[in-house]
């Protein structure tokens, strides 16, 4: 099994965002300079009927400069902190690689405008498997798409987040993206994976909407689901899907 990350594409996206951030900062400097120039060199005297409009123009220059500067700074921070890889996905891929041959490709850290961010996707003859990988610690209970966690005193609290709901959204986006790019009836599945094993993390499920596994039982948990049919996509379709998700 190939365990890969589209590092080149992610680096290009980060670099392009830095260019846009630099352009926004430059525009902010120009607008700021224009605002100071119009303030320091009054081109319209107070007695002129257009003076209020002139003052408004100065304020708009300063406001636009502030917005461009803030936007440029945020984009620069986003570009510099853009994740180039996902350590949790690396570990998950390495775990699956023990069981899978070279017909499978595991793509980590997918980030596309049409899909958004996805932890990882496995592409192979059984279809496409979308991963939502968690590194949470504790005792969890999952029924359908609902999640609870046991607290220190033994009481259970409903979680404000649901990895199942997130996985379902990722599955839908990946399926729609592949269908829109010419893959007929793409077979897309999902799984929620907890990195830590018991007793650090314990997960109990009842009729889960999306399969839930931990790294030590991941392959076994997928046998009744993703691996239940060995051939849903032919080799050409698998190659096409991998290219769409990787590039």
Partners of 129 in beta bridges: 122, 189
Give me the phi and psi of 38, to 5 degrees please.
-65, -30
Are 70 and 96 in the same domain?
no
Are 107 and 195 in the same domain?
yes
For position 111, what pLDDT does the model report? 85
Are 236 and 123 in the same domain?
yes
Are 96 and 63 in the same domain?
no
Are 8 and 103 in the same domain?
no
Are 121 and 223 in the same domain?
yes
For position 39, what pLDDT does the model report? 87
pLDDT at residue 158 greater than cutoff 70? yes
Number of domains in the chain: 2
Mean per-residue pLDDT over the chain, rounded: 91
Domain end marker among 80, 95, 126: 80
Q: Between residues 40 and 205, which one has the greater pLDDT? A: 205
Q: Between residues 154 and 219, which one has the greater pLDDT? A: 219
Q: Could you tell me what percent of the chain has a pLDDT over 90?
A: 70
Q: Which domain holds residue 198?
A: 87-246
Are 115 and 148 in the same domain?
yes
Are 74 and 18 in the same domain?
yes
Are 45 and 132 in the same domain?
no
For position 7, what pLDDT does the model report? 63
Distances, alpha carbon 39 to alpha carbons 6, 26, 29, 35, 60, in Å: 50, 20, 15, 6, 12
Domain end marker among 58, 80, 102: 80
| Residue 96's pLDDT band (cuts 50, 70, 90) | very high
Are 105 and 55 in the same domain?
no
pLDDT in tens, 4-61: 987 656 666 667 778 898 999 999 999 999 999 988 888 887 878 888 888 899 999 9
Mean pLDDT, residues 179-193 taken together: 94
Domain end marker among 53, 80, 107: 80
Provide CB contacts within 8 A for 189, sequence distance 6+.
126, 127, 128, 129, 130, 171, 225, 226
| Strand duo 105-112 + 2-4: pairing | parallel
Are 63 and 118 in the same domain?
no
pLDDT at residue 207 greater than cutoff 90? yes
Are 147 and 186 in the same domain?
yes
Strand-by-strand arrangement of the 105-112 sheet: 2-4, 105-112, 116-124, 127-134, 188-194, 212-214
């Amino acid at each position: 099994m190939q365990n890969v990350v589209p590092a080149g594409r992610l680096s290009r996206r980060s670099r392009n965002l830095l260019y846009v951030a630099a352009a926004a900062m430059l525009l902010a400097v120009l607008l700021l300079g224009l605002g100071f120039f119009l303030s320091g060199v009054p081109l319209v005297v107070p007695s002129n009927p257009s003076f209020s409009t002139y003052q408004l123009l100065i304020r708009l220059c300063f406001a636009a400069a502030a917005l461009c500067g803030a936007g440029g700074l945020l984009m620069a921070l986003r570009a510099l902190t853009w994740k180039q890889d996902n350590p949790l996905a690396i570990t998950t891929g390495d775990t699956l690689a023990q069981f899978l041959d070279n017909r499978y490709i595991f793509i980590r850290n997918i980030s596309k405008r049409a899909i958004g961010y996805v932890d990882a996707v496995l592409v192979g003859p059984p279809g496409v498997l979308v991963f939502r990988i968690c590194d949470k610690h504790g005792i969890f209970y999952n029924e359908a798409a609902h999640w609870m966690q046991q607290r220190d005193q033994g009481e259970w609290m409903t979680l404000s987040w649901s990895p199942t709901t997130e996985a379902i959204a990722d599955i839908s986006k990946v399926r729609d993206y592949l269908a829109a790019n010419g893959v007929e009836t793409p077979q897309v599945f999902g799984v929620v994976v907890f990195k830590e094993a018991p007793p650090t993390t314990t997960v109990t499920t009842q009729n889960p909407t999306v399969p839930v596994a931990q790294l030590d039982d991941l392959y076994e948990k997928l046998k009744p689901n993703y691996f239940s049919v060995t051939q849903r996509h032919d080799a050409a379709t698998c190659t096409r899907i991998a290219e769409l998700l990787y590039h």
